[in-house]
Amino acid sequence: METQLELVKKVQRLLKLTYGLIPIIAGADKFTNLLTDWSQYLNPALKSILPLHVHTFMSIVGIIEIIAGIMVFLNPQKGAYLVCIWLVAIAITLLTSGNYLDVAVRDLTMAIGAFSLAKISGPKV
């Protein structure tokens, strides 16, 4: 029979894989747009004030996401907090644009998972 601690460790490993790999994959795809055209999710108000081309901006976003995913593997607590904040920021931009509200809800749900990973990866009392 599994102990509570063993179960938490298994959940932590699963969440670590999820919140490490998904940002890396999504970040890398910002350079290829194989999964989707990521620029469609960019708030039009933000697009209009960007001082650089949308593709360049999305490439920068991709680099940040890759770094966040790597951070989850290296330091799950700090990396998961970063992913959580990043997902909430994306959701806010989607909500304020009034577009892709389903994606905003999904990202907020994912942020809760990342927050959960951060909490179970923190210092043990």
What does the pLDDT read at residue 2?
Answer: 84
* Residue at 20 is within a domain: yes
Structural domain harbouring 65: 4-120
Q: What is the pTM of this model?
A: 0.91
The b-or-e profile of 41-77 (16+ CB within 10 A means b, else e) is bbbeeeeeeeeeeeeebbbebbeebbebbebbeeebb
pLDDT over 70 percentage in the chain: 98
Flag whether 125 is in a domain: no
Q: Give dist(CA 76, CA 60) in Å, integer.
A: 22
Structural domains counted in the chain: 1
User: Residue 125's pLDDT band (boundaries 50, 70, 90)?
Assistant: very low
Q: What is the mean pLDDT of the chain?
A: 95
